[in-house]
Structure 1
Amino acid sequence: MIADDEFLARISQGSSFRILKADPAAALDSFSMLPPPEKAAGQFDVYCQDQNLGLTIRNLRPKCGFSDDQVGLGRIIFLLHLSGKRRIELGAHSYELAEPTLAIFYHPPGLKKRSVWSDDADEISLTIGMWPHGLSSLCDFSAMDLPGISSISGDRSDVFWYARPLPYTLMSATENLFHHSVDRRVAKAFITAKSTEIACLSLDTLLTDGSFLVRRDVAVDRLERIRTLIEASLPNPPSLCDLAATFGMQPQDLSVEIREGLGVSLNQYITSRRMERARTLLESENMPLKQVAYKVGYCHASNFCTAFKRHFGRPPKNYMRLC
């Protein structure tokens, strides 16, 4: 989390929109962003508490074609485009929003996102922004499970983007936010609860979309994560069922993906990595065979020696470091 003044400064960085707070001395709860009056009417109403969950309601009526830039903060964005037109240019890609659409994307820190409107492109939309770590506190899901989010720099040209026609459940969920009449004393709690609901429904849409699960970038990232998980737990690696549950897939589908991506089955890959780790230990450490076997997941040295010789064609003692 960053200071409120810095948060506001970052939100408006590069933008021609003017920030207007109802009470300049009040805490950062809500404010408006006003477009240049000669270019558009309407405004963006922004509601945010503790910065983790920020809701923006856009109602924009362009008077001419114009664009506006926003520099990324490193947040996950859930965009519900309800009506109108807008083009989003992000990294090396351009996305047209002309129909009711759900878009989920990552806006890396320092990366410019350009929104482009034409003079007949009135827009009504709703956006929820979250810090990546906020997803973990909200639900049993990490933003790092999405491709192109970990280790991102501001000049990255290919960032995570997912879009599909807006589901009816999400369209209905937005209605209460646009037309609510709750008492002002519970308004903050209501907006937070509805924003959380919409974020969860959006994420559920993503994670249950079969076409998303088989996207090439998602599959490549999934294989990298599987490699990392196995490397970090060779003595007791995750099973196929464990990994399938982690990624929300059927075990048989993940098994096929692993074999196609790695060229071997999961068990064969685990055995190969165990043997490579064991050889490294034998060559670099003055360590008894039994201890080496244990470190790579074998309870009995005899089973380890058999597997090692089958893999390398020579027994492990041939690789042992001389004292």
Structure 2
Amino acid sequence: MLQCVKELKREKRLYDIHPATQTGSGGNGDITAAWQQVDLHDGLWLSRLELVPHSASTLCYHKQPAMIDFGFIIGGQLNHKLKTNVMGGQVAATAGTAGIGYFPGREGVMQVRNGRPLKVLHVHVTPERLSRMLGADIGAMPASFRLIVEGTVNHDFMSKCAMDPLLQATALDVFNGRYHGRPQYLYLEAKALELISLQIGRLMSQEASRKKRALLSPNEKKRIHAAREFLVRDLAAPPTLNTLANFFCLSRNKLQIGFRELHGSSVFAYLREYKMQRARQLFDQTEMNVSQVAWEVGYTNVSQFTKAYKKRFGVLPKHYRKSVLDCHVPELPSVQLASI
């Protein structure tokens, strides 16, 4: 049964979430949940949803204003049933997936699996606000998305992709509230804009790929996603390009094309970025020293790791580590839904 904190009734919430009726819903059970919403600017919001279902559950939701949603699945898995013809009205998402959606007067059903915590971060922006932020860059947007931002059309839109290491690390930083002593709202607004920029960049890259070559087949996409998992499984001894291609029955060229289309970079550019973002997360989340982090992400030579880290982030890893240890990391603001 869904229980909301009464004090939230005074807040202007973006979403109304409630349990589906038992008939034909697939069942509902108790859920522990936290909903946090931050109003960053007129027409720009950030929201954080964490659900821990104690049994398979189905929730209905309704979004109040028409807005463009930039969503990031941090953990867990969910299935959306939407009142739209886009993607057949069914959108499945797992951890590591990001998407851009626009559904005027959006209503839908969200199904969450038993015992698997769901963690979702959203940046919400009205088309009018995004149009002002894009300025002259709006002309470079894919036509189907640009017309929505301009307000010329009001149809449904959905695009999703796998998060690359930079996008995933940025979303994790925001979800976990890692402000490192910085002004909270200024930090969150800057990160929200960064997430929007990264996602729109991926959308533009996908559009360019469609114009240059035929889309990958569903089977090829599945194998390339599996290749990505295999690539980062052992950072100390990653496979060669030939080994990776042969193992998943792909040509080297098809593997590289697929990585660029699905993950936004070449195979080993992806691996380098993954190592750097993983290193930064270890500094943020543990007390490991520079040598330990270097070894953890596959560097046997600490000097090479230091050089690579400074080139990527513009700071020596020992200095970054010291700044993290010196700063208190506060909790996210408690604008929340308590118990479901």
TM-score, structure 1 as length reference: 0.51
The offset of 1:23, in angstroms, is 11
Q: Distance in 1 between matches of 2:117 and 2:31?
A: 9
Q: Distance in 2 between matches of 1:55 and 1:213?
A: 33
Question: Which amino acid letter does the alignment assign opposite residue 59 of structure 2?
Answer: S
| Contact 1:35 1:41 (C-alpha < 8 Å) held by counterparts | no
Distance 1:34 1:136, change over 3 A: closer
The offset of 1:100, in angstroms, is 1.1
Q: Distance in 2 between matches of 1:127 and 1:160?
A: 16
CA displacement 1:30-72 (0-9 Å, x = unmatched)? 9998877963112121111334211111211112222222235
- Aligned partner of 1:18 in structure 2 is 4
Distance 1:189 1:22, change over 3 A: farther
| Contact 1:39 1:62 (C-alpha < 8 Å) held by counterparts | yes
| Contact 1:100 1:166 (C-alpha < 8 Å) held by counterparts | yes
1:50 aligns with 2:50: no
- Aligned partner of 1:75 in structure 2 is 67
Query: Between Structure 1 and Structure 2, how many residues are aligned?
Result: 192
| Contact 2:18 2:59 (C-alpha < 8 Å) held by counterparts | no
CA displacement 1:215-268 (0-9 Å, x = unmatched)? 99xxxxxxxxxxxxxxxxxxxxxxxxxxxxxxxxxxxxxxxxxxxxxxxxxxxx
The offset of 1:89, in angstroms, is 1.9
Q: Distance in 2 between matches of 1:144 and 1:136?
A: 14
1:137 aligns with 2:146: no
Question: Which amino acid letter does the alignment assign opposite residue 125 of structure 1?
Answer: V
- Aligned partner of 2:178 in structure 1 is 180
Between Structure 1 and Structure 2, whose CA radius of gyration is higher?
1
1:101 aligns with 2:97: yes
SS in 2 for 1:119: coil
Residue 124 of structure 1, aligned match among 113, 119, 137: 119
Question: Which amino acid letter does the alignment assign opposite residue 75 of structure 1?
Answer: M
Q: Distance in 1 between matches of 2:3 and 2:39?
A: 18
| Contact 1:21 1:31 (C-alpha < 8 Å) held by counterparts | no
1:171 aligns with 2:162: no
Question: Which amino acid letter does the alignment assign opposite residue 39 of structure 2?
Answer: C
The offset of 1:200, in angstroms, is 0.9
Q: Distance in 2 between matches of 1:212 and 1:77?
A: 23
1:191 aligns with 2:183: no
Q: Distance in 1 between matches of 2:158 and 2:103?
A: 9
Aligned-CA RMSD value: 3.5
CA displacement 1:150-192 (0-9 Å, x = unmatched)? 5656xx6xx21101111111111123221414448x1111111
1:202 aligns with 2:188: no
| Contact 1:102 1:165 (C-alpha < 8 Å) held by counterparts | yes
Where in structure 2 are there 5+ consecutive unaligned residues? 20-27, 215-340
Distance 1:73 1:214, change over 3 A: farther
Distance 1:194 1:71, change over 3 A: closer
Distance 1:166 1:188, change over 3 A: same
The offset of 1:73, in angstroms, is 2.3
Question: Which amino acid letter does the alignment assign opposite residue 176 of structure 1?
Answer: D
SS in 2 for 1:73: coil
The 5 A counterparts of 1:1-323 are: 18=4, 39-64=30-55, 65-71=57-63, 73-90=65-82, 91-92=84-85, 93-108=89-104, 110-139=105-134, 140-141=137-138, 145-147=143-145, 149=148, 150=151, 159-177=156-174, 178-183=176-181, 186-209=183-206, 210-211=208-209
Structure with the bigger RCO (C-alpha within 8 Å, sep 6+) is 2
| Contact 2:15 2:63 (C-alpha < 8 Å) held by counterparts | no
| Contact 1:54 1:130 (C-alpha < 8 Å) held by counterparts | yes
Where in structure 1 are there 5+ consecutive unaligned residues? 1-15, 217-323
Q: Distance in 2 between matches of 1:97 and 1:193?
A: 26
Question: Which amino acid letter does the alignment assign opposite residue 50 of structure 2?
Answer: N
Q: Distance in 2 between matches of 1:73 and 1:194?
A: 22
